[in-house]
Chains A and B, each alone.
Chain A
Amino acid sequence: MDLSTINPVLLIASLMVAATPIMLAAIGELVVEKAGVLNLGVEGMMIIGAICGFAIAVETGSPLLGFIAAAAAGAVLSLLFAFLTQILLANQVASGLALTLFGLGLSALIGQSYAGIKPPPTPKIDIPLLSDIPVLGPILFGHDLMVYFAIFLIAAVWAVLKYTRLGLILRAVGENHDAAHALGYKVVRIRILAIMFGGACAGLGGAYLSLIRVPQWTEGMTAGAGWIALAIVVFASWKPWRVMLGAYLFGGVTVLQFNLQAAGVNIPVQYLSMSPYLITILVLVIMSSSKARSAMNAPAALGRIFHATH
């Protein structure tokens, strides 16, 4: 065992990178769920974002255009879910699962000619003075733009939900769609927009995987990241900053255990790997222990179908 081989600065920096895809997807899903819609298709939207972002980045040579395309692709795919659940009033759980399966299949089809290609590198911002600061430099200032964008998005969602009229309307729709409807808000339209936002975020998260974290295209490369994002939203009890905490925890555990293993520490890997899920279950148990608590956290209309004539 030689813990000195672990460089805590590099460890935290890697942790931030590992957490970014799930953080992006989770914050998007949080907005969707705050609007009262449960979209289990995060995995499908992520992988569509991964391949579309990858393909466009490779074709144009610009990672930025790749990310924009990924967000667009995720949003377009989520429209399918929106159409099924908001217009046709289909079951949200089933539609979400179908979206995941559809996304996985479609991405494999699109991606056939993109395996084994190298994407254009995404530049890391390198602020001359700041990134040279010992310890804090590499952690805070040595990343690519998407890492900062993800954190910015968390802050933005938090501020919008808490302080703006838009946030209030979104929450109203998610808490009681009948009341929101009675007040004259377009419940379906607001929900569709929220779903598209969630799709765009998931797409960005997927593209982060294929363009920066791995960087390559492989079929099925999200390998369950979308489901982790869904777990994070519950873990965070629908609070934006806790999503960030959850993403660092979920992403961090993996990176940490690999580092411990490489350093020769004899750790029970399985326990570490399952710990985020155990915590999620624990949070669920605590939340459901009292009616008041769960009412405070989960949007009351989550997963319920809205029809104006009801």
Chain B
Amino acid sequence: MVSFKSILTGAVLALGLSTAAYAEEKLKVGFIYVGPTGDFGWTYQHDQGRQAIEKELGDAVETSYVESVPEGSDAERVLTQMALSGTKLIYATSFGYMDAVQNVAAKFPDVRFEHATGYKQADNVATYSARFYEGRAVIGTIAGRMTKTNKIGYIASFPIPEVIRGINSAYIHAKRVNPDVEFKVVWVYTWFDPAKEADAATAMIEQGVDVIMQHTDSPAAMTIAEEKGIYAFGQASDMSKFGPTAQLTAIIDNWDPYYVARTKAVIDGTWTSGNTWDGMKDGMVVLAPFSDALPDDVKAEAQALADSIAAGTYHPFTGPLNKQDGSAWLADGEVADDGTLAGMGFYVEGIEGEIPN
């Protein structure tokens, strides 16, 4: 009887050990996306990062993803499900997942979370984002040079610091090369809704806009720009196949190196929480090739600006800069600190309109 019991215990123990060993062999990595992987913008680019992990780390990892997860309580359910199914590293790739990540992370201390564009960290929650505003500075310069009507359209998603920062950076640099430039900002209150994005683009074009920038995820605006014969910039991903003549360049989010490095850190046991905010210098923000529609001097100017940002010799938010209400923000030569940028809730001087609440 005793022997039978010990055999049984031994068997159970062996079974437990073997699953543990198996789990150690293959790290389960999960992704939750706010849009479909085929949006050819934001989510597409994160999924490229997921594929990069699989390619680089091969048999050491097993990745999975859930797409089109709404921000809010659904996200919490999906995250919990992932954590329960043995996923040890979860990338949550939208700002609005922030509280869901915090809640689930508190319940699963042994699961590591990586939250994109958020600002709340924990022992097992790291945040990461890219300095998209560096790219915005370059496309702002190009837009200022290329507009003939001096009206630049900006399709904005939600009034969060990330988006406001982009508008400011683009405006400052467009204004610098073209003092007559005017920004028309339209808030669509969605990250992904091709029909709405297209309608917003159409509305702007009908009001005389001839260069469009966007901070939404689908290439719908690019398609409309191509159809109406105006210019636009790709967002998150190279959208040139949607606008072969319309796209002047694109800000590409390159998550691959970060995803591979962080996943590797979990495997090696060196992962720690933290906040990563990389830009052009680190290759997290990349510009698509400039269009041939750009005159050589504009190309050179844009390239020089991109190079100086990448080299660290120029910061897109360098004073003198005032806030929209005219109050002083940055003195001459002063550079904005990351804290202010991360929580940016105001327009710079010259932008018309108010930021909705």
* Contact between chains at B195 and A269 (CB < 8 Å): no
Interface status of B133 (Cβ within 8 A of chain A): no
* Contact between chains at A223 and B220 (CB < 8 Å): no
Partner of A259, one of B207, B220, B242, B353: B207
* Contact between chains at B220 and A262 (CB < 8 Å): no
* Contact between chains at A216 and B220 (CB < 8 Å): yes
Contacts of A224 in B (CB 8 A): 193
Complex formed: what's the CA distance from A209 to B203 in Å?
A: 17
* Contact between chains at B220 and A263 (CB < 8 Å): no
Select from chain B the residue with minimum beta-carbon distance to A104: B68
Complex formed: what's the CA distance from A213 to B203 in Å?
A: 13
Number of B residues with CB within 8 Å of any CB on chain A: 43
Interface status of B204 (Cβ within 8 A of chain A): yes
* Contact between chains at B36 and A218 (CB < 8 Å): yes
The smallest C-beta distance from A289 to any residue of chain B, in angstroms, reads 32
* Contact between chains at B38 and A261 (CB < 8 Å): no
Interface status of A273 (Cβ within 8 A of chain B): yes
Within 8 A of A (CB), among B327-357: 352-354, 356
Complex formed: what's the CA distance from A108 to B43 in Å?
A: 15
* Contact between chains at B356 and A268 (CB < 8 Å): yes
Select from chain A the residue with minimum beta-carbon distance to B227: A215
Contacts of B223 in A (CB 8 A): 118, 214-216
Contacts of B203 in A (CB 8 A): 14, 255, 258-259, 261-262
* Contact between chains at A214 and B194 (CB < 8 Å): yes
Contacts of A258 in B (CB 8 A): 186, 188, 199-200, 203-204
Contacts of A262 in B (CB 8 A): 153, 184, 186, 200, 203-204, 207, 209
Complex formed: what's the CA distance from A111 to B38 in Å?
A: 9
Complex formed: what's the CA distance from A286 to B304 in Å?
A: 64
* Contact between chains at A223 and B207 (CB < 8 Å): no
Within 8 A of A (CB), among B219-236: 219-220, 223-224, 226-227
* Contact between chains at A269 and B38 (CB < 8 Å): no
Interface status of B192 (Cβ within 8 A of chain A): yes
Interface status of A309 (Cβ within 8 A of chain B): no
Q: Per-residue CB proximity of A267-284 to B under 8 Å, as 1/0?
A: 011100100000000000
Q: Per-residue CB proximity of A140-175 to B under 8 Å, as 1/0?
A: 000000000000000000000000000000000000
* Contact between chains at B227 and A269 (CB < 8 Å): no
Interface status of A115 (Cβ within 8 A of chain B): yes
Complex formed: what's the CA distance from A111 to B36 in Å?
A: 12
Contacts of B352 in A (CB 8 A): 264
Interface status of A6 (Cβ within 8 A of chain B): yes
Interface status of B59 (Cβ within 8 A of chain A): no
The smallest C-beta distance from A6 to any residue of chain B, in angstroms, reads 7
Interface status of A10 (Cβ within 8 A of chain B): yes
* Contact between chains at B206 and A7 (CB < 8 Å): yes
* Contact between chains at B194 and A221 (CB < 8 Å): yes
Interface status of B208 (Cβ within 8 A of chain A): yes
Complex formed: what's the CA distance from A225 to B195 in Å?
A: 9
Contacts of B206 in A (CB 8 A): 6-7, 10-11, 14, 259
Interface status of B185 (Cβ within 8 A of chain A): yes
Interface status of B39 (Cβ within 8 A of chain A): yes
Looking at A209, A259, A262, A269, the one whose CB has the most chain B CB atoms below 10 A away is A262
Q: Per-residue CB proximity of A97-136 to B under 8 Å, as 1/0?
A: 0000000000010011001101000000000000000000
* Contact between chains at A108 and B38 (CB < 8 Å): yes
Select from chain B the residue with minimum beta-carbon distance to A268: B356
* Contact between chains at A219 and B242 (CB < 8 Å): no
Interface status of B176 (Cβ within 8 A of chain A): no
The smallest C-beta distance from B211 to any residue of chain A, in angstroms, reads 14
Interface status of A290 (Cβ within 8 A of chain B): no
Interface status of B189 (Cβ within 8 A of chain A): yes
With A261-B185, A268-B356 known to touch, is A5 a contact of B195 (CB < 8 Å)? Answer: no
Interface status of A18 (Cβ within 8 A of chain B): yes
* Contact between chains at A261 and B187 (CB < 8 Å): yes
Q: Per-residue CB proximity of B5-39 to A under 8 Å, as 1/0?
A: 00000000000000000000000000000011111
Within 8 A of B (CB), among A221-248: 221-225
Looking at A14, A21, A115, the one whose CB has the most chain B CB atoms below 10 A away is A115
With A18-B199, A215-B223 known to touch, is A270 a contact of B39 (CB < 8 Å)? Answer: no
Within 8 A of B (CB), among A167-217: 209, 213-216
With A14-B206, A259-B207, A268-B356 known to touch, is A223 a contact of B38 (CB < 8 Å)? Answer: no
Interface status of B148 (Cβ within 8 A of chain A): no
Interface status of A254 (Cβ within 8 A of chain B): yes
The smallest C-beta distance from A50 to any residue of chain B, in angstroms, reads 10
Complex formed: what's the CA distance from A219 to B42 in Å?
A: 13
Complex formed: what's the CA distance from A21 to B206 in Å?
A: 21
Select from chain A the residue with minimum beta-carbon distance to B353: A264
* Contact between chains at B207 and A218 (CB < 8 Å): no
With A218-B194, A223-B192, A261-B185 known to touch, is A116 a contact of B40 (CB < 8 Å)? Answer: yes
Partner of B242, one of A209, A216, A263: A216
Select from chain A the residue with minimum beta-carbon distance to B221: A214
Interface status of B124 (Cβ within 8 A of chain A): no
* Contact between chains at A269 and B356 (CB < 8 Å): yes
Looking at A11, A216, A218, A269, the one whose CB has the most chain B CB atoms below 10 A away is A218
With A214-B195, A219-B38, A258-B186 known to touch, is A5 a contact of B242 (CB < 8 Å)? Answer: no
Interface status of A137 (Cβ within 8 A of chain B): no
Interface status of B324 (Cβ within 8 A of chain A): no
Partner of B207, one of A6, A108, A215: A6
Interchain residue pairs with CB less than 8 A apart (7): A18-B199, A214-B220, A216-B194, A216-B220, A220-B68, A254-B199, A263-B207
- List residues of B whose CB falls within 8 A of some A CB: 35-40, 68, 153, 184-190, 192-196, 198-200, 202-204, 206-209, 218-220, 223-224, 226-227, 241-242, 352-354, 356
Apart from the given pairs A216-B194, A218-B38, A261-B184, 6 other A-B contacts in the complex at a CB distance below 8 Å = A5-B208, A214-B223, A218-B220, A219-B38, A223-B194, A269-B189
